[in-house]
Amino acid sequence: MFDYYLNLALRSLRRNKVLTALMIITLALGIGASITTLTVLRLLSGDPLPQKSAQLFYAQVDPYTRDGYVPGKTKPQRLMAYPDAMNLLHAHQARRQAAMALTDAKIAPLHAGEHPFFSDGVMTTADFFTMFDAPFRYGGGWTADDDESRAQVVVISDFLNDRLFGGASSVGRTIRVNDHDLRIIGVLKPWAPQPRFYAQGLGGRSYGDGDAVFLPLQTARAASMDPQNDDCWAVADTSKLETAPCIWLGFWAELSSDGEVAAYRQFLSNYVQQQIALGRFYRPEVALSDLPQWLRDEKVVPDDVRLQAGLAFGFLLICVVNTVGLLLAKCLRRSQEIGVRRALGATRRAIFAQFMVEAGIVGMAGGLPGLVFAELGLWCIRHQPAEYAGLAHLDVHMFFLTFLVALVASMIAGLLPAWRASLLAPGSQLKAA
Partner 1 sequence: MQIQPILAALRRHRLATLLIAMEIALACAVLCNACFMIANRIAMMHIDSGVDETSLATVQLTGYEDSHAVDLNARVLAGLRSIPGMQSVTVLNSIPFGARRGTAGITLDAAAQHFGGVVEFYVGGPGSLQALGVHVIAGRGPQADDFRAFTGLMPSDASVQITHSLAEHLWPGVDPLGKDFWLDKMHYRVVGVIDHLVRPDPPGWPDNSKDWSIFVPAQPGKLLAGSYLLRADPRDVPRVLRDARAMIAKVAPDAVFDQEGSQTLSDLRATCFRQDRAMAGILVGVIVALLLVTALGIVGLASFWVQQRRRQIGIRRAIGATRGDILRYFQTENFLIVSFGIALGMVLAFALNVMLMKFYELPRLPLYYLPIGALVLWALGQIAVLGPALRAAAVPPVVATRSV
Element (H, E) at 124: strand 117-124
Torsion 32-34-40-43 (CA) sign: negative
Torsion 352-357-362-368 (CA) sign: positive
DSSP E strands, 238-293: 246-254, 286-290
User: Is the CB of 340 or the CB of 416 nearer to partner 1?
Assistant: 416
Write out the binding residues for partner 1, residues 70-109 only, by CB under 8 A.
104, 106
Question: Which of 386, 407, 409, 418 touches partner 1 (CB under 8 A)?
Answer: 386
- Least distance (Å) between residue 171 CB and partner 1: 26
25 binds partner 1 (CB under 8 A): yes
Question: Which of 168, 318, 372, 425 touches partner 1 (CB under 8 A)?
Answer: 318
Write the DSSP string, 361-393: HHHHHHHHHHHHHHHHHHHHHHTSS-TTGGG--
Write out the binding residues for partner 1, residues 235-254 only, by CB under 8 A.
235, 238
CA atoms within 13 A on the CB side of 222: 15
Please list, residue by residue across 126-153, b when 16 or more beta carbons sit within 10 angstroms of its beta carbon and e when fewer do.
bbbbebbebebbbbebbeeebbeeebbb
429 binds partner 1 (CB under 8 A): no
Write out the binding residues for partner 1, residues 116-155 only, by CB under 8 A.
116-118
For residue 92, the tally of other CB atoms under 10 A from its CB is: 10
26 binds partner 1 (CB under 8 A): yes
- Least distance (Å) between residue 402 CB and partner 1: 17
Element (H, E) at 404: helix 396-423
Residues 300 and 308: their CA atoms lie apart, in Å, by 16
DSSP 214: E
User: Is the CB of 130 or the CB of 322 nearer to partner 1?
Assistant: 322
Write out the binding residues for partner 1, residues 329-368 only, by CB under 8 A.
329-330, 332-333
Question: Which of 14, 17, 73, 115 touches partner 1 (CB under 8 A)?
Answer: 115
Residues 41 and 370: their CA atoms lie apart, in Å, by 18
- Least distance (Å) between residue 197 CB and partner 1: 22
Question: How many binding residues for partner 1 (CB under 8 A)?
Answer: 47
221 binds partner 1 (CB under 8 A): no
Candidate ranges 25-33, 136-144, 184-192, 275-283; the one touching partner 1 (CB under 8 A):
25-33
69 binds partner 1 (CB under 8 A): no
- Least distance (Å) between residue 6 CB and partner 1: 23
Residues 255 and 96: their CA atoms lie apart, in Å, by 8
Name the β-bridge partners of 118.
106
**Rg over CA atoms, the chain:** 30
- Least distance (Å) between residue 245 CB and partner 1: 11
- Least distance (Å) between residue 315 CB and partner 1: 6
Question: Which of 33, 35, 94, 202 touches partner 1 (CB under 8 A)?
Answer: 33
Q: Which residue ranges make up the site for partner 1 (CB under 8 A)? A: 18-19, 22-23, 25-26, 29-30, 33, 67, 104, 106, 115-118, 179, 234-235, 238, 303-304, 306-308, 311-312, 314-315, 317-319, 321-322, 324-326, 328-330, 332-333, 384-386, 416, 420
